[in-house]
Structure 1
Amino acid sequence: MLISYQIFFGISNSFLAKIWSILKGIKLARAKGFQQLWIESDSSTVVSFFHHRLIPWFALQEWNHFLNYLNAIEWKISHCYREANLVVDFLAKEAAKTGTSFDDVSLSLCIRHELVIDKAGILALDF
């Protein structure tokens, strides 16, 4: 993971939040000049929408701004279960708890530890 961000949406639903979060990630990747991009979402519905290019009307204009960039790079979007997405879960909770948005979040030591575990493919179970 090269960048992390959190977005405060206020009162919203998870579908809207996930769509806008993905678009924000694409925007940040473009700004940083990334030539490869792998987007993971715990919403299979949202992933399916992007795979089939069924971008909701409220996000279509933003999506169209990214098409030239996405067509010029190697990118993919895939589904992952929420339990495998600990960092996203942490950042979403922080945004909801603090009411703040940040483009480049410094991750705490406990989250960095979770990334190391994730990269190693170790399954962490909480009982």
Structure 2
Amino acid sequence: MGNLGLVGWGATYRDHNGEFLLVSCKGLGVETNYVAECYTILENAEVAIEKGWLNLWLESDPAAAIEAFSTGKIPWQLSKRWGWCKSKLQRCMLSHTWREANFAADTAAKRGSRLDKDEHVAGE
């Protein structure tokens, strides 16, 4: 909600058939949109690993964040955690999607921006 402003991430998780598994959101406090999108990718990879979902296809609407993770040029404060994720994942594909293509994740992200910093809400 603004750049620099209160931000959060939201995500939907689906299986290989497109069936819904989980929706999740988290408040990140005051950050830039770009940093928020990078946290979205990283922290959702971590959630998937915790669930045992090790073959991932991560989609995100900002192409810049996808490019950063694809090339390894992510914000320095995330690099160690991303290295851990890559060591645990069996397969990880990253791609860009339009925000309008996943309205559920966009709605969850808006909810996340209203949560306190580090407050996490998930539902199956």
Q: So what's the TM-score if we normalise by structure 2? A: 0.75
Q: How does 1:1-127 map to 2 (within 5 A)?
A: 1=14, 2-70=21-89, 73-99=90-116, 101-106=119-124
Q: Which has the higher helix share?
A: 1
Give, as a single letter, the amino acid of the residue that structure 2 aligns with 1:49: A
**1:6 and 1:105 in contact (8 A); partners too:** no
**2:55 and 2:91 in contact (8 A); partners too:** yes
Give, as a single letter, the amino acid of the residue that structure 2 aligns with 1:99: D
Q: How many residues align?
A: 104
CA distance in 2, matches of 1:53, 1:22: 13
**1:9 and 1:17 in contact (8 A); partners too:** yes
Tell me the percent identity: 27
Deviation digits for residues 25-61 of structure 1, max 9, x if unmatched?
1111111111321111001001111111212212112
Deviation digits for residues 5-31 of structure 1, max 9, x if unmatched?
111112211111111111111111111
Q: What secondary structure does 2:27 align onto?
A: coil
**1:10 and 1:99 in contact (8 A); partners too:** yes
**1:44 and 1:79 in contact (8 A); partners too:** yes
CA distance in 2, matches of 1:52, 1:36: 19
CA RMSD of aligned residues (A): 1.7
Give, as a single letter, the amino acid of the residue that structure 1 aligns with 2:82: W
Deviation digits for residues 45-80 of structure 1, max 9, x if unmatched?
01111111212212112112212113xx12201000
Q: So what's the TM-score if we normalise by structure 1? A: 0.73
Larger Rg belongs to: 1
Gaps of 5+ in 2: 1-13, 15-20
